[in-house]
Chain A
Amino acid sequence: MATRYFGQPIKRNEDPRLLTGQATFTDDVHLPEMLHVAFYRSPYAHARIRAVHTEAARAMPGVVAVYTADDLGAYWQPGPLLVPPPPVKEIIFNPRMQVPLARDKVRFVGEPVAVVVAENRYLAEDAAEQIHLDVEVLPAVVDLEQALTPAAALVHDDLDQNLNAHVIQRKGDYTRARQQADIIIQRKLRYDRGTAAALENRGIVAHWEARNQQMTIWDTTQAPIPIRNGLAGMLGLSEKQVRVIAPFIGGGFGPKIMMFYQEEVLLPWISMRLNRPVKWIEDRQENFYATTQERGQVHWAEMALTRDGKILGVKDVFLHDAGAYAPYGLTVALNSQCTLLGQYDVAHYYSEFTSVFTTKPIVTPYRGAGRQHGVFVMERLLDIAAKELDIDRVEMRRRNLIPPDKFPYSNEIIYQDFAPLTYDSGNYLPALARAVEMIDYERFLREEQPRLRAAGKHVGLGIVTYVEGTGIGPYEGAKVTVEASGRVSVATGIGTQGQGHFTSFAQIVADQLGVTPEQVRLVTGDTAEFYWGAGTFASRGAVVAGNAIHAAALAVRRKILKKASDELEVDEEDLELVDGAVRVKGSPQTAIKLGDLAVRANPMRGAVKPGTEPGLEATDYFGPERGATASGVHAMIVEVDPETMMIEILRYVVVHDCGAVINPMILEGQIHGGVAQGIGNAFYEQLVFDEHGQLLNASFMDYLLPTADTVPRIETDHVETRSPLNPLGIKGAGEAGAIPVGPLFAQAIEDALHDANLEILEIPLSPSRLYELVAEAK
């Protein structure tokens, strides 16, 4: 196989359109007669609804309709459970799913209660302001540790406590490991909520054409095919009558794979009811309430070690904040549980979590999706153990890394794809060594830091490792077609939100068919173009769709060779695909252009032989038996002003291993973006809820995203350990940058403020919080 393009940092096919404003986003869809929708959302975190008064709103000028739960009739149904409970013994699982419009109770601020349809959004919002909700206010359930106490109000009245799930998973026998330990490190650690804050908020346009009996939906979803299947069922239509288009999307990060958002269920219904196209574009304020969030967990963790720093076992018990409903099953908590052990060879592990309902926005995976928490717990315990045992922190990690000869490495517990957690491949020591080299670890500690400290500067170093489970099943598919022009079209079902699919997928195809990536046109996220698939999530696009595209391209390549062999009367082995043509090796003038071959494969006269298909086209699928485990090391040097607790990141290093790399430039972009999001998560972003469940910072004035001045230049390098689980040998990279930044900050800041005797056991941090922690440590 030629690999001219695979592995090359070629420029992105999609960028000219994106950079010149020629790409279609959902809000770019303008249809004649289109109506606009605004939602009336609960101002209360928890309340019993007595009545929803909509008369005044209905009477407002330009208002076409106002609907509440009662207007929906049989269409009013709780959403489906997207991910069933894992096959774990003695699991307790109480799924409770979101409803299209709150009927008896509201369970979080921002929950939709009524929907206004008007001639424009201004009028719709004016009318929504006239809706009055008559309620009995109930106590909010905000604090995770309080949520399970008998005094807590019940989020779901039919449960006897706010228990979404309880899961215990074990590897080995932690109790025995504990007995053999020289030292036990025990800590309580916290991680608080943030929001993905994609550049583009959510949006939906639904267009029911009664004459064609056809529903077209533009939706900012990461999973257009499941959305089509689900909505067809709900609307009583055939899947063939529903076309879902996920056009260009300005960032997904996980919350856009949530199904089914209330708005997603309502817009198509409204369009059918009114027989007019309707549009809803989420505004930024709504996004803070109505789009799913993540990250609230509290861990009680302990690590048992020998005197020389060998980890004997880890025990972790944690609470997970599910929010008001839990449509996504236990994915986030399972990820925390399954990522915690990281790159380390740990024989004994006990992990128990309780997922609790609170009266806060719904929690579903957001970039990292629980992995952050596990990595935070493990890396912090290692840092603390290293200090207690007086072992260098890098050496501490070295002594515990899984050696390369132990792969595939089984952690025995069940992962989010319900397969036993087995790392497919890995080679951790070289990546750690490379990061140590790049950040100049030894010299920094030996020379630089003492010199800076003597000069009164507080500069610290952090270095942490992580793994990322990626590329899980079930499957994706692709159709590859050589057109008569010689151009190649590729259709796949996953959605795209900025990952560079139009380029990296084109590179895969170009190598197989002997064309350039510019000659490959990709269509993604349009159910009219490809029928089957799951979606873009869990860092799986490149792994699963990439390999499906590879398989389909290979099938087309076989067809090309067979057809050309017949046409040229040359053995297939003597043919090669180069420069858009099939030609005879060593005799390049004997050739057929791919376009001509495509025409000959689709003849106007004669017959297509039995057992063959017309054209040069193939559809194929790929489903990995389990996920591929990527890994990496982040290191940074930070300066802290001990008087103001303001920080400056002086250096940031990432050494990353995601197997074979399709496009290193795109990969770097993924890592940079992830690191930026991780920095935000670690030091700037925090959703602050008061005791009434009110979000106190629902705007970008007070919710602080990382900006150009807070994200440093990021130095990257790669180690390549191929995955044996897919033909391309690739692992996912979508979430890597964001995962280990919390413990990295904690370690580096502790190091910088070495004289403060500080122990950082929570994320996110802030200057004010650091000041408090230092004061407490005194």
Chain B
Amino acid sequence: MKPAPFAYFAPRSLDEALALLQEHGYEAKLLAGGQSLIPAMNFRLAQPAALIDINRIDALSFLEPASDGGLRIGAMTRQRTVERSALVAERAPLLHATMPFIAHMQIRNRGTLGGNLAHADPASELPAVMVALGARFRLQSQRGARWVNAADFYVGLFATTLEADEMLVEIAVPPLPPRTGWSIQEIARRRGDYAIVGVAATATLNADGRCHAARLVYLSVGEGPIQAHDAVAALHGQAPTAAVIAAAMRGASQRIEPLGDIHATPAYRRQLIEVLGRRALTEAFARVQPT
């Protein structure tokens, strides 16, 4: 379990890093927290020709309030920093509540927000949460920068819209709309394990207590974050009673096609999709603060 040979670069600035990325392209891997990449290299499942270590680029590590009431978070911000931030707890309580589900404290001490999001592991909580929150990602290269919606960023198994020369540099999390509640639910075999199924929910009521909008985004049930559009559509305009939520979930869970693996059969995953979706929506609606 030793990695194959690789070249190592440790740029001090974003410009320098982007130049290296421009030069090496897909032959290179960015080393952020290394919590997924280094094990993959030790197993020789990943054999990048070059590692560009971006841990020395201080400009990528920030967490600050955005003018719209949301958050701006630098890609190299450690997960543990996000977890312990009072600002995050106040402005993005769903993100705050999600952090403890991510592996173990030691891993979160090292792992970064951007590294996790760009890795695009379908079993990871953060991509689903970012889709549920309607977050946007800033991608930068020597050619320039662009913003992409989280929902459009994920295009397949460990696949994103990042070009070979691009780096995820910043995450913009918008504030929750008024009368909006949230929930994160997951089932993992042991605390800190990859979820068998997980789901992030946001739910917004209109003034008369009916469902105005909702997002229900699953992890570990497909190639990336999977939105249960049908369930959400079934809720629209309805008072979110237990019966309404249960009915919406029964139908919706049949339209997601999870794969089986050594930890869960497809049927068990489908059961969890229904149960966790129901629990998440119930909790999210219950959390709505009347205005």
Interface residues of A (CB under 8 A from B): 121-122, 125-126, 129, 283-285, 643-646, 684, 686, 688, 696-697, 699, 701-702, 704, 706-707, 709-710, 766-768, 771-772, 775
Residue of A nearest to B189 (CB): A704
Please give 10 more A-B residue pairs, beta carbons under 8 A apart, in addition to A768-B264, A772-B268. A122-B2, A125-B2, A129-B4, A644-B272, A684-B190, A707-B191, A710-B190, A767-B268, A768-B263, A768-B268
Q: When chains A and B are docked, how far (Å) is the Cα of A283 from the Cα of B43?
A: 11
Q: Which of B5, B43, B193, B275 is within 8 Å of A285, CB to CB?
A: B43
Query: Are A696 and B43 in contact, CB atoms less than 8 angstroms apart?
Result: no
Known: A643-B275, A646-B187, A684-B190. A129 touches B44 (CB 8 A): yes
Q: When chains A and B are docked, how far (Å) is the Cα of A767 from the Cα of B196?
A: 10
Q: When chains A and B are docked, how far (Å) is the Cα of A659 from the Cα of B265?
A: 46
A630 to chain B, nearest CB (A): 31
Known: A126-B4, A701-B194, A710-B190. A772 touches B267 (CB 8 A): yes
Q: For chain B residues 1-60, which have a beta carbon within 8 Å of chain A?
A: 1-5, 39, 43-44
Chain A contacts for B190, CB-based, 8 A: 684, 704, 706-707, 709-710
Q: Which of A129, A710, A771 has the most CB of B within 10 A?
A: A771
Q: When chains A and B are docked, how far (Å) is the Cα of A772 from the Cα of B193?
A: 22
Q: When chains A and B are docked, how far (Å) is the Cα of A706 from the Cα of B275?
A: 25
Query: Are B187 and A767 in contact, CB atoms less than 8 angstroms apart?
Result: yes
B183 to chain A, nearest CB (A): 16
Chain A contacts for B268, CB-based, 8 A: 645, 767-768, 771-772
Known: A129-B44, A644-B272, A771-B271. A696 touches B187 (CB 8 A): no
Chain B binding surface SS class: loop
B243 contacts the other chain (CB 8 A): no
Q: Which of A283, A643, A771 is within 8 Å of B1, CB to CB?
A: A283
Q: Which of A285, A697, A767, A771 is within 8 Å of B262, CB to CB?
A: A697
Q: When chains A and B are docked, how far (Å) is the Cα of A767 from the Cα of B262?
A: 12
Q: Which of B191, B196, B265, B268 has the most CB of A within 10 A?
A: B268
Query: Are B1 and A284 in contact, CB atoms less than 8 angstroms apart?
Result: yes
Query: What would 25 A/B residue contacts be, using CB atoms closer than 8 Å?
Result: A121-B2, A122-B2, A125-B1, A126-B4, A285-B1, A643-B271, A643-B275, A644-B271, A644-B272, A644-B275, A644-B276, A684-B190, A699-B43, A701-B39, A701-B194, A707-B191, A709-B190, A709-B191, A767-B189, A767-B196, A771-B268, A771-B271, A772-B265, A772-B267, A772-B268
Residue of B nearest to A709 (CB): B191
Q: When chains A and B are docked, how far (Å) is the Cα of A646 from the Cα of B197?
A: 13
Q: When chains A and B are docked, how far (Å) is the Cα of A699 from the Cα of B275?
A: 30
Query: Are B262 and A775 in contact, CB atoms less than 8 angstroms apart?
Result: no
**Interface residues in B, total, Cβ within 8 A:** 26
Q: For chain B residues 117-145, which have a beta carbon within 8 Å of chain A?
A: none
Q: Which of B5, B44, B267, B276 is within 8 Å of A771, CB to CB?
A: B267
Chain B contacts for A646, CB-based, 8 A: 187
Q: When chains A and B are docked, how far (Å) is the Cα of A701 from the Cα of B39?
A: 10
Chain B contacts for A768, CB-based, 8 A: 196, 263-265, 268
B279 to chain A, nearest CB (A): 9
Query: Are A702 and B44 in contact, CB atoms less than 8 angstroms apart?
Result: no
Chain A contacts for B1, CB-based, 8 A: 125, 283-285
B32 to chain A, nearest CB (A): 19
Q: When chains A and B are docked, how far (Å) is the Cα of A707 from the Cα of B104?
A: 12
Q: When chains A and B are docked, how far (Å) is the Cα of A702 from the Cα of B196?
A: 12
A128 to chain B, nearest CB (A): 10
Q: Which of B44, B192, B271 has the most CB of A within 10 A?
A: B271
Q: When chains A and B are docked, how far (Å) is the Cα of A701 from the Cα of B2?
A: 17
Q: When chains A and B are docked, how far (Å) is the Cα of A766 from the Cα of B2?
A: 32
Chain B contacts for A125, CB-based, 8 A: 1-2
Proximity string of chain B (257-291) to chain A, C-beta cutoff 8 Å, 1 when within and 0 when not: 00000111101100110011000000000000000
A295 to chain B, nearest CB (A): 16
Q: When chains A and B are docked, how far (Å) is the Cα of A129 from the Cα of B262?
A: 28
Query: Are B187 and A644 in contact, CB atoms less than 8 angstroms apart?
Result: yes
B158 to chain A, nearest CB (A): 15
Q: When chains A and B are docked, how far (Å) is the Cα of A696 from the Cα of B263?
A: 11
Q: When chains A and B are docked, how far (Å) is the Cα of A577 from the Cα of B190?
A: 54
Chain A contacts for B276, CB-based, 8 A: 644
Residue of A nearest to B269 (CB): A768
A462 to chain B, nearest CB (A): 21
Q: When chains A and B are docked, how far (Å) is the Cα of A188 from the Cα of B67?
A: 67
Q: When chains A and B are docked, how far (Å) is the Cα of A704 from the Cα of B265?
A: 17
B147 to chain A, nearest CB (A): 34
* 3 nearest A-B residue pairs (beta carbon): A768-B268, A283-B1, A768-B264
Chain A contacts for B262, CB-based, 8 A: 686, 688, 696-697, 702
Q: When chains A and B are docked, how far (Å) is the Cα of A707 from the Cα of B4?
A: 31
Q: When chains A and B are docked, how far (Å) is the Cα of A553 from the Cα of B43?
A: 51
Chain B contacts for A696, CB-based, 8 A: 262
Q: When chains A and B are docked, how far (Å) is the Cα of A85 from the Cα of B5?
A: 50
Q: When chains A and B are docked, how far (Å) is the Cα of A768 from the Cα of B193?
A: 15
B252 to chain A, nearest CB (A): 16
Known: A644-B272, A771-B271. A766 touches B265 (CB 8 A): no
B263 to chain A, nearest CB (A): 6
Q: For chain B residues 146-160, which have a beta carbon within 8 Å of chain A?
A: none
Chain A contacts for B44, CB-based, 8 A: 129
Q: When chains A and B are docked, how far (Å) is the Cα of A273 from the Cα of B265?
A: 52
Residue of A nearest to B265 (CB): A768
Chain A contacts for B3, CB-based, 8 A: 122
Chain B contacts for A121, CB-based, 8 A: 2
Chain B contacts for A701, CB-based, 8 A: 39, 194
B8 to chain A, nearest CB (A): 14
Residue of B nearest to A696 (CB): B262
Query: Are B263 and A702 in contact, CB atoms less than 8 angstroms apart?
Result: yes
Q: When chains A and B are docked, how far (Å) is the Cα of A283 from the Cα of B2?
A: 9
Chain A contacts for B189, CB-based, 8 A: 684, 704, 766-767
Residue of B nearest to A684 (CB): B189
Known: A126-B4, A697-B262. A704 touches B193 (CB 8 A): yes
Q: When chains A and B are docked, how far (Å) is the Cα of A284 from the Cα of B42?
A: 11
Q: When chains A and B are docked, how far (Å) is the Cα of A408 from the Cα of B193?
A: 49
A688 to chain B, nearest CB (A): 5
A458 to chain B, nearest CB (A): 14
Query: Are B267 and A775 in contact, CB atoms less than 8 angstroms apart?
Result: yes
Q: When chains A and B are docked, how far (Å) is the Cα of A646 from the Cα of B267?
A: 16
Q: Which of B3, B5, B39, B272 has the most CB of A within 10 A?
A: B272
Chain B contacts for A284, CB-based, 8 A: 1
Chain B contacts for A771, CB-based, 8 A: 265, 267-268, 271
A740 to chain B, nearest CB (A): 22
B251 to chain A, nearest CB (A): 18
B228 to chain A, nearest CB (A): 18
A663 to chain B, nearest CB (A): 31
Q: When chains A and B are docked, how far (Å) is the Cα of A710 from the Cα of B196?
A: 17
Q: When chains A and B are docked, how far (Å) is the Cα of A646 from the Cα of B194?
A: 15
Chain B contacts for A702, CB-based, 8 A: 262-263
Chain A contacts for B4, CB-based, 8 A: 126, 129
Chain A contacts for B271, CB-based, 8 A: 643-644, 771
Q: For chain B residues 161-212, which have a beta carbon within 8 Å of chain A?
A: 187, 189-194, 196
B116 to chain A, nearest CB (A): 16
Chain B contacts for A122, CB-based, 8 A: 2-3
Q: When chains A and B are docked, how far (Å) is the Cα of A283 from the Cα of B191?
A: 25
B135 to chain A, nearest CB (A): 27
B189 to chain A, nearest CB (A): 5
Q: When chains A and B are docked, how far (Å) is the Cα of A766 from the Cα of B189?
A: 9
Proximity string of chain B (80-105) to chain A, C-beta cutoff 8 Å, 1 when within and 0 when not: 00000000000000000000000000
